[in-house]
Amino acid sequence: MNPHSSRSSLPANATFRTRLFSWAKLVRLPNGFTVVADVSAAFLLVLGASGWLRSGDDSAGSVWPFLALVVASGVALYWGGMVLNDVFDIRADRRARSERPLPRREIRLADARRVGWALLVVGMVLAALIGAVPGVIALLLSICIVAYDGPFKRTPIASVLMGGCRVLSFLLGSTAAHSVIPAEQWQGRVSVLGEPVWMHITPVSFAFAIGMGLYITGVTTFARREAIGDRSLHLPWGWFGMTLGGVVLALAPRVAGLFSNADVPVDWTRGWQIDPVLIFPATIALMIVPTLARGWTAWHSPSPQRIQLTIKSAIMAIIPLMAAITMLGAGAIPSLCVFALVIPSTWLARRFRVT
């Protein structure tokens, strides 16, 4: 009997679906929607703060195609990082996580390596098509991705590198918006984002990016020993990192006032779509407190299951957090569009691992 007869007898479309499923596992498909959310939220935050959304000018030169372009760039970079993560980890995965696509040989290692590097290049090219500044941010993001996946994966700075990737992912969206909004849209007015300090990066955009970076650094630190589930310093450090990230996100709009020029003061309480003083911080708290509650329980009564549930909750909270930021800058309808990403992400999370 031919050992390959059962495989060859499968319908072609079934084989194709199996391969797609394997690639979806490799890139951790549910997590990709969190990248769509943070890049979109950053882009829409800048659109709203610039007044472009309220100007009604939707004629030639529309910025919407550039939103699709920067989202595609962010997803390509993220998927490239996920693929290369498993490429670099192939030896460890063969021992500890044999169910992953590469140890199971569902995908050839050489194919994964080529696709991973190609996705990083595609992500950088797409960002460079938008402008020089997003291109530089994409290059820095690619460097952080490779540094995390490769030489620094087992070192103490790994969590910081992962947080840095989220910082740059958010800045990719915000600098892309700055690059394509007509210059006259900014002239004669002081933005609630504050004046750009470097490469189209404004104080408020940077504060949001740092908040996300701290949050993801905390999540990654919390997850360092998820398979073991024992007591370690990773749990309290990770929990405090997530909490600090949430606090920075909640207070980010205030940064424009702190860094405003005395001659041209910025009233950071005006110009937003919702109240940044009480309503926005309360919304951020509403999104993050359930994850912190899970984390508190896992910290004091650790087990692999509790830790993994906390991580899953933390990752799934990214989309609501980004919807809140979108609401602040762009209003209800764009925010609902971002929040709707929860639906495919949650549905896919039942079928694919997110950690």
Count of CA atoms in the C-beta half-sphere (13 A) of 95: 3
> Which tens digit of pLDDT belongs to each residue from 74-123?
999 999 999 999 999 888 878 877 888 888 888 999 999 999 999 999 99
What span, in angstroms and rounded, lies between the C-alpha atoms of 286 and 157?
30
Which residues of the chain are modeled with pLDDT < 50?
1-10, 59-60
Count of CA atoms in the C-beta half-sphere (13 A) of 78: 26
The alpha-helical segments, DSSP class H, found in 51-156 are 52-55, 64-88, 90-96, 109-130, 132-149
pLDDT of residue 185: 65
Distance (Å) of CA 268 to CA 8, 249, 278: 65, 15, 13
pLDDT of residue 9: 43
**What letter represents residue 24's amino acid?**
A
pLDDT of residue 145: 96
> Which tens digit of pLDDT belongs to each residue from 165-215?
999 999 999 999 988 887 766 655 567 888 777 878 889 999 999 999 999
